[in-house]
Amino acid sequence: MSQSPTQQEVPVTEGANVSERQSLDVLDQLMKPEVQESLTVLVENLPKLAEMVTVMTKAYDFAQGIASDKVLISDTMSAMGEFAKPVVEKAKGVASAAIEANDRAQTEQASVGLFAMLKMLKDPNVQQTLRFAQSFLSILNERGQQQR
């Protein structure tokens, strides 16, 4: 019987000691000068912090509203699809032309002579491609010299 009250008092005493130790630890932390300076800065900036939290909360609510709006999401996706459609079609056209050109180049066995090359130089598409290549290589050269 005498053991029962002792066993009950021990946890209460240990709990009180832990609580007192934690209180002392918090007080010790609060007594440090750097903690006091930090608290002073926080107290001085509380109006700004409250304003920032309010703005961030409004931004979060707005973002949540947009993210959960099914109509807006579907309209945005369809608009992006309409915007990308011409680009995709152009890329498909260029890719199919490249594949067809590769097939023709593989089947054709004739060599390209000097006069055939001179004749090709008159083609406006060849001229445009050569001007592009010349400009592209010139830009790469300029950037390479700037990096050195």
Give tens-digit pLDDT for 81-97: 898 999 999 999 999 99
Residue type, 53: V
The predicted model scores a pTM of 0.39
Residue-averaged pLDDT of the chain: 86
**Quick one: CA torsion of 29, 34, 37, 38, rounded to 10 degrees?**
-70
Residues 126, 120 contacting (CB under 8 angstroms): yes
Instruction: Please report, for the chain, the start and end positions of each structural domain, with discontinuous segments joined by +.
Output: 20-68
- Phi/psi for 79 (5° steps) reads -65, -40
What is residue 26's predicted lDDT score, i.e. its pLDDT? 84
The whole-angstrom separation of Cα 125 and Cα 138 is 20
The whole-angstrom separation of Cα 148 and Cα 136 is 19
